[in-house]
Structure 1
């Protein structure tokens, strides 16, 4: 039995360039942007783009999965810093702040994924589970430290993020965070 062959370095670079170009162009122009324009912006031939992503839905799903993986990496890094001695509430606040910044920038990509029916597949599901696991660890650590209210759950984070001002200015996002953080803490409510 042979092991799976690793992708060539140029193929990995091309995929990365395609994903970056797609993210930028969909953010700027919406889901109607053509595959030809994405290939040109990435500096690759259209055939190369289609070898990596046979359909636009595949490309958009990969962009969304890439974003979700970056969020999961960030959440896991915050949980690791907490395990190493950082205060969980500080890590939660910083994570939420970073997430608000990136959501505002990538909102068009997620809207495009919904608009063209992209299936975000197992890559996205795995990233979502990784994020949930890391956030759960942060909440439990914050509760053990006495800073996070005992009734706060992962569902509360989903509720907060579903109602976050992702289509507003960074100042509005910062103000939102200032207002909601006390609701998570033992310091902000009885």
Structure 2
């Protein structure tokens, strides 16, 4: 009979280790993409994750594969947020909750928009991931519309477009004011609501003239780079 030696490692333990390493790698990549955008390397990811570079390359052959995995995780987060919004008994509050989650996620995550742009080069995968969340968002909008708390002609496509409009302003203003996007999120919600619900308060001041000029200058500098 063959006895197990100290060098024997059960396959199950290997799979568990690999799964933990992948979780650490993806979590590290999400943090780095959020802070620095896509201008990072797999070496950077390995260092942040606390694993060897070879471990990263065993899980992901290149950065594009890692980008796709990170985007997939973001879609899971959005789907969870949509489910949570549907559990809110008040259709308007559920819509506001999801809209704020989406706007905050985009506004505070520098790399997410870049990840989306990168994945658009793979239209099949991009469509698969997008379509995972679209029905849930549609249900949020449909429920709010049926309850008479948003205008009857507001569609799911409008809702996605409005999120990206807020994100566009967040990108513009981010270098000088990282919170002002919340003002324009409230203005946007006020534009789609009916008189059945109260207006969103504008709790954040607008950009000053000086901040607008600074944001323009920062944008020009970023494009030159």
The answer to whether structure 1 residue 176 and structure 2 residue 155 are counterparts is no
In structure 2, what is the equivalent of residue 16 of structure 1? 23
**Which residue pairs with 1:53 in the alignment?**
60
- Corresponding residue of 2:93: 90
Asked whether 1:99 is paired with 2:102, we answer: yes
Residue correspondences, number: 179
Structure showing greater Rg: 2
TM-score normalised by the chain length of structure 2: 0.69
Structure 1 residue 151: Cα displacement: 0.8
Q: Pairwise CA RMSD of aligned residues? A: 2.7
**Distance of 1:56 and 1:153 partners within structure 2:** 35
**Native 8 Å contact 1:78 1:91 kept in 2:** yes
User: Does the 8 Å CA contact 1:57/1:117 hold for their aligned counterparts?
Assistant: no
Alignment of 1:1-190 (within 5 A): 8-79=15-86, 81-82=87-88, 86-111=89-114, 114=117, 119=122, 122=125, 124-164=126-166, 165-167=169-171, 168=174, 169=177, 171-187=179-195
SS across alignment from 1:163: helix
Unaligned segments of structure 1, at least 5 residues: none
User: What are structure 2's unaligned runs of at least 5 residues?
Assistant: 1-11, 197-225
Contact 1:72-1:127 within 8 A present in 2 as well: no
**Structure 1 residues 32-73: Cα deviation after superposition (integer angstroms, max 9, x where no partner):** 322122112111121211111101111112112211221122
CA distance in 2, matches of 1:42, 1:141: 41
